[in-house]
Amino acid sequence: MPMTNGWNRFIYRLWAPIYDAILGRFYAAGRRQTMATLAACAGQRVLLPGVGTGADLPLLPVGTCAIGVDLSPAMLVRAQVRLPLSGRNVMLICGDVQHLPLGDGTCDAGLLNLIVSVAPDGAACLREAARVVQPGGPIVIFDKFLADDATPGTGRRLLNVLARRVGTDINRRLSDLLSGSGCAVVDDRPSLFGGAYRTVVVQTEQSASVSSG
């Protein structure tokens, strides 16, 4: 089945009461790694598309500001419970990460944890983040990716039918998401499960010095 905003609103309304209990520990180390990689400084404004239940919010460095955007009102209710956070200013917005309700260059950096595999159009999500983050600002992505040179087998394709029904796509390639984004990879390292999940840093191409790890 195709992933749509309507389906995601429905499925994440069901996920909202149980998401942290079931998946919180599963992703905790990856979230800590991405926040350390982002290395946001006091006074910076961080974009958090797909903020969900707000699991990343307590990890924000003191002195930073954050704008969290999520399609699911039910998930945002859970995020709101975490606020206020001492020394951090957080704004939560209900909106589509494929069409962010923010102006160009609004933020200094972006943290895209587990959202480019969830948004119906993951490439549009990344393009929007690149638009909203100032040129040269880092965008850190934590997600699961199919290797660029891999073809999913029958088992993985069937598993993805189930995965999409519960709100994620396990067969997205990073190269496809980057296409047309205006971003280039400046760091790429394995995260959870032997590299099935990765932490990737991208910047707009005009200011990126491309490398990989």
> Which stretches in the chain have pLDDT values below 70?
1, 206-213
**Per-domain residue ranges of the chain:** 5-207
Please give the mean pLDDT across all residues of the chain.
Answer: 95
Two tokens at 122? Answer: 């993951």
Q: Residues for the chain: how many in total? A: 213
**Phi and psi (nearest 5°) for 70?**
-150, 145
pLDDT of residue 210: 42
Question: pTM of this prediction?
Answer: 0.94
At 75-115, the pLDDT tens digits run 999 999 999 999 999 999 999 999 999 999 999 999 999 99
pLDDT of residue 87: 97
pLDDT of residue 204: 84
CATH code for the domain defined by 5-207 = 3.40.50.150
Return the residue matching tokens 């995260």: 191
pLDDT of residue 2: 82
CA of residue 85 relative to chain centroid, distance: 21
Q: How many CB atoms lie within 10 A of CB 94?
A: 13
Beta strands in the chain (DSSP E): 45-49, 65-70, 89-94, 109-113, 139-144, 183-190, 197-204
pLDDT of residue 207: 62
> Are the beta carbons of 39 and 60 closer than 8 angstroms?
no
**Phi and psi (nearest 5°) for 188?**
-150, 115
CA 93, 38, 57, 163 torsion: positive or negative? positive
CA distance 32 to 27: 9
> Are the beta carbons of 40 and 61 closer than 8 angstroms?
yes
